[in-house]
Structure 1
Amino acid sequence: MLLKNKLQCNDSLFNLLCATLFTLINALFIRRSWQAIAPHSSREFLFAASVPLVLFCAWLAIFSLITLPLLRKPLLAVLIVGCAVANYFTYSYGAVIDTNMMRNVFETDIQESMALITPQLLLWLALAGLLPAALICTLHVSRAARWWYPLCTRLLTVLLSLLVILLVAALFYKDYASLFRNTKGIAKLVTPPNYISALTNYGKERWFNGDRRLIRIGEDAGRGATLAKERKKTVLIVVLGEASRAQNYSLGGYHRETNPELKKQNVIWFDNATSCGTETAVSVPCMFSGMTRAGYDASTARHREGLMDVLAHAGINVLWRDNDGGCKGACDRIPQTNMTLWNLPEWCSKGSCLDDALLYRLDNILDGVQRDTTIVLHLMGSHGPAWYRRYPSRFRRFTPTCDSNQIQECSRQSLINTYDNTILYTDDVVSRVIDTLKARQSQLNGAMIYLSDHGESLGEEGLYLHGTPRMLAPDEQVRIPFLFWLSEDYARQTGTDTRCLRQSARSTAISQDNLFDTVLGMMDVRTRIYRPGLDLLNGCRSVPERLARG
């Protein structure tokens, strides 16, 4: 390679350099493969050595096919920058780049996105993305004297690369099959295929998935006699948490007192509750869709009615108040309020609000109730990485804290302290929701459900935040808080035995699959789509409601 006005190379050398660069970009995949192989014998060392070789040959074959003269530099520059971003989140947070992660990227709001933009990200992007992309663009690829020469060279390169890959496959096929079978998710570390595949799948699911007409469900929904004859109106408030993990709730046995207020409220805590997904964009539409986790389809959920629609079909007043970037489709056809748009000076700043904003004028709403009502309060909760922004200063009880969104620079204990402070604040907010219902017991039959959308990783196994694919996710991202509060009048009117429910809560494994039918049961909605077996209260009613029509 000569230095003239620009760095120069021929076509073959350019492809060799690109293959080498993209092999180095995948150093994390190579390292994880070597860790999984843990070679001891000579065969295992040869197998380990074949991993970067196969990767290099694959890139060489690919680039020999796609790097056409007019397209190669812009194409490679875009791929390199994309790889830099993907690798930053994989290295820093242990994130897995897949379709669900792309759903998070495109369906989050600007405030959540800005919290992830740190000086480290910008520096990483400059050094691992923009700099190598610029170097690629500065290379001058000289033209061959004969037009057919590079064509033949490329064809020969592809054939030789495939020959090497086939030779390795013949020697180590079983070893590779075992590696990918036993080391779950390792294939998703290969970039750029990981984010290209994720973008393609998300785009197909979001915009190119056939018939998008609204699927109506529960149009037969009506009211049962249990609540219809009651003079006092029934109000159920569903408080939907964000990134709260059950492991850090003292109600569930955590060694710190993180639930001092809810402990006073005689709530019913379920010990073993799990989420549908590990990100809001999956869990929220899943739990409100009426589909179970096993049968959940995100594409169908986008154009299918859900829980709030069925309640509305039954004549129940419904409202969604949001402080967490939207309901992800669960409230698209019902009254909704984005509390950040109110820009309440006491709790909001720069487009982000503390969860106190959700309680603003909630008293007025409850005082004006004319018919049975279900309200969802969608908390910002423990949304990371800027946990220190999720609570008022008076809740900074566990110290020292990580007062930065650059969580990699903080000690793990300071991360836990900061996160636990968010749980303390959520405890206070949820307890005040109960107090608001208690203050109106003479005029309303009140009940409340609190559950989180998913959990959160705080550095366990090198993982941070959430979004790990559900089948690979650790308990920290899957186990969620799930609790009930029922007023005495509500329990008496519906025949609910709270002692039975409390006993069931200690022994029953539940999930977000139960929310849909439990809410229908609690609001005495009769419809063919109601499933009594998923209603958590059904077995503890003195005369179990048979809400499904025959």
Structure 2
Amino acid sequence: MFFPLNKRPTLSRLSFLLLFSVYIAIFLNLAFYHQVIAALPLDNLRNGLVFLSMPLVAVSVINIVVTVASFLLLDRLVIALFVLVSAAAQYFIWNFGVVIDRSMLVNILDTTPAESFALMTPQLVLTLLLSGVVMAAVAFWVRIRPGTPFWKSAVYRIVSVAASIICILLVASLFYKDYASLFRNQKELVKSLSPSNAIVATLSWYKHNQTQDLPLVKMGEDAHLAPAMQHGKKNLTILIVGETSRAADFSLSGYSRDTNPLLAKDDVAYFPHTASCGTATAVSVPCMFSGMPRARYDDALASHQEGLLDVIQRAGVKVLWNENDGGCKGACDRVPHQDMTSLNLPGMCIKGECYDEVLFHGLEQYIQQLQGNGVIVLHTIGSHGPTYYNRYPPQFRRFTPTCDTNQIQDCTQQQLVNTYDNTLLYVDYIVDKAIKLLQAHQDQFTTSLVYLSDHGESLGENGTYLHGMPYAIAPEVQKHVPMLIWLSPDYQSRYGVNKSCLDKLAAQDNFSQDNLFSTMLGLTGTLTRVYQQQDDILTSCRKG
């Protein structure tokens, strides 16, 4: 729709810049101020003054930026971008309690189209339309009053910038210690301030990506199979990489609901005290396959360094990665892998997403034709939200009522937990199905299985949903993950692993995704200098 020129609202450039600075700094940062109140109780006059000074500082900073941009005739563009970014950030911060940083930006970029569509709720569309798109359009629609001499307008804007700088300096002189204390103790709070959070995250992401084209760093070049693994019956291991399964809801962990009825009968060794490397797939998956412990994990190095599967493959083991979760994040780049989601199999796949049973498609034939030792990795979509109700077939809808919408914040806590627990019933079925597949081939192979989830999930506790919070402040449910190991009787006998010892070890000791690398090397009999015996879970339970 086109409006006559004389009906467009007209403002001086100075008023235009100040009004939009106020809109961005205050109205698109309500989520930030809400978090500030929680961290800085307004129970005394000084705290109240500190809080009131924050919008003043935010308006001043944004006014400086957009005013400088105005001298380059970029003010409308900068304002529109700030509005769109801030509106989107505020929605997700307010509704899901997320933190906008580089890790979250990576999660956004790695999100599949189906996952992105799952987040597109009517509430999101309406919010972004009204607070973002419409206001960005207004920034281009408003008419700047003509006729003002450039020098006069320039003087006004320079004075405006000077006033903003003075305002910032004044607040700093009065409340510097208060600001320093608040943001030192609440380091992640600043990541809720828009649009600076998105700008800093983007710059950090760009800087990090400059390392992507570095030469590949090899590891485990001395890898070879142990003699015991080279003779007699061949060995087959299935590694299931879980998605968003939190240990708190596994009945194997002591959860009151029976979410693992099948695995409870499979004689698995379950490890109830297991920590993840990160709180998002883009961090945890490359970390657990990298061979670097979380304390020294370098994602830039991991992006151009070989990992676990490269080493196992170099030892002569056939490796296959079946994918149902939008990508392996670099962990399978140099081994055979296939995207099972893209098969779009009838009855298994809906709108670009598939039930995890799709991972078994063609697997029986693959195993029958497998020559030599093998490792099969199944990367599940598991319990990925917010569309938990799409993660399991109807027959697994045991806990009701469920939350059958992507607007999970509108569901009751019980509905959300019911739906999530149903996803774990399906995870139980998938892992049990893999164990039964291995049992069916026990005459051909000595078999074993490892299941380890990449990270946990928040289900509305303390107003936090989904995952991806910075590790230092993430709730325990996002970091506490389920892990289990199943060893066939043949594996236990042939390689001298004491199952009772393993059960006792699992119940008493703390483990983490740091243990996966060397445990898988030990499990598959891969000998190499990069193997760390102390990190191999099976070490202390091996006879001899």
TM-score normalized with structure 2 length: 0.96
1:266 corresponds to: 267
The number of residue pairs the alignment matches comes to: 539
Asked whether 1:71 is paired with 2:107, we answer no
Greater shift in the superposed pair: 515-524 or 74-83? 74-83
The residue identity in structure 2 corresponding to 1:474 is P
Greater shift in the superposed pair: 342-351 or 239-248? 342-351
SS at match of 1:178: helix
Structure-2 separation of matches of 1:454 and 1:124: 30
2:475 corresponds to: 474
Instruction: Name the CA shift for 1:538/1:76 in 2 (closer, same or farther; >3 Å).
Output: same
2:212, 2:304 within 8 Å by CA — same for their partners in 1? Answer: no
Greater shift in the superposed pair: 274-283 or 72-81? 72-81
Within the candidate set 214, 224, 227, 1:225 is matched to 227
Note the alpha carbon deviations across 1:288-320, whole angstroms, 9 max, x for none.
111111221222212111111001110111000
Structure-2 separation of matches of 1:95 and 1:213: 34
2:180 corresponds to: 177
2:24, 2:82 within 8 Å by CA — same for their partners in 1? Answer: no
Asked whether 1:6 is paired with 2:8, we answer yes
1:131 corresponds to: 134
Structure-1 separation of matches of 2:376 and 2:532: 22
2:277, 2:512 within 8 Å by CA — same for their partners in 1? Answer: yes
1:17 corresponds to: 19
Structure-2 separation of matches of 1:139 and 1:472: 42
1:425 corresponds to: 426
2:60 corresponds to: 57
1:227, 1:493 within 8 Å by CA — same for their partners in 2? Answer: no
1:18, 1:63 within 8 Å by CA — same for their partners in 2? Answer: no
Structure-2 separation of matches of 1:210 and 1:154: 42
SS at match of 1:500: helix
Structure-1 separation of matches of 2:438 and 2:305: 32
Asked whether 1:514 is paired with 2:515, we answer yes
1:337 corresponds to: 338
Note the alpha carbon deviations across 1:154-182, whole angstroms, 9 max, x for none.
22222222222112111211111111122
Instruction: Name the CA shift for 1:210/1:414 in 2 (closer, same or farther; >3 Å).
Output: closer
1:184, 1:472 within 8 Å by CA — same for their partners in 2? Answer: no
Structure-1 separation of matches of 2:228 and 2:212: 42
Instruction: Name the CA shift for 1:109/1:261 in 2 (closer, same or farther; >3 Å).
Output: same
Q: CA deviation at 1:31?
A: 2.4
The residue identity in structure 2 corresponding to 1:235 is L
SS at match of 1:257: coil
2:57, 2:167 within 8 Å by CA — same for their partners in 1? Answer: yes
Structure-2 separation of matches of 1:502 and 1:80: 55
Asked whether 1:47 is paired with 2:50, we answer yes
Asked whether 1:89 is paired with 2:96, we answer no
2:445 corresponds to: 444
Pairing 1:157-236 to 2, within 5 Å after superposition = 157-206=160-209, 208-209=210-211, 212-229=214-231, 231-236=232-237
SS at match of 1:299: helix
Asked whether 1:395 is paired with 2:396, we answer yes
SS at match of 2:245: coil
The residue identity in structure 2 corresponding to 1:158 is V
2:212, 2:303 within 8 Å by CA — same for their partners in 1? Answer: no
Q: CA deviation at 1:89?
A: 1.1
Structure-1 separation of matches of 2:60 and 2:109: 33
2:461 corresponds to: 460
TM-score normalized with structure 1 length: 0.95
Q: CA deviation at 1:69?
A: 5.9
SS at match of 1:505: helix
2:251 corresponds to: 250
2:66, 2:78 within 8 Å by CA — same for their partners in 1? Answer: no
Q: CA deviation at 1:536?
A: 0.8
Instruction: Name the CA shift for 1:210/1:255 in 2 (closer, same or farther; >3 Å).
Output: closer
Asked whether 1:101 is paired with 2:104, we answer yes
SS at match of 1:157: helix
Percent of aligned positions with the same letter in both sequences? 45
The residue identity in structure 2 corresponding to 1:215 is V
2:356, 2:382 within 8 Å by CA — same for their partners in 1? Answer: yes
Q: CA deviation at 1:354?
A: 0.6
1:215, 1:303 within 8 Å by CA — same for their partners in 2? Answer: yes
1:227, 1:494 within 8 Å by CA — same for their partners in 2? Answer: no
SS at match of 2:7: coil
User: 5+ unaligned residues in a row in structure 2: which ranges?
Assistant: none
1:239, 1:430 within 8 Å by CA — same for their partners in 2? Answer: yes
Structure-1 separation of matches of 2:42 and 2:381: 46
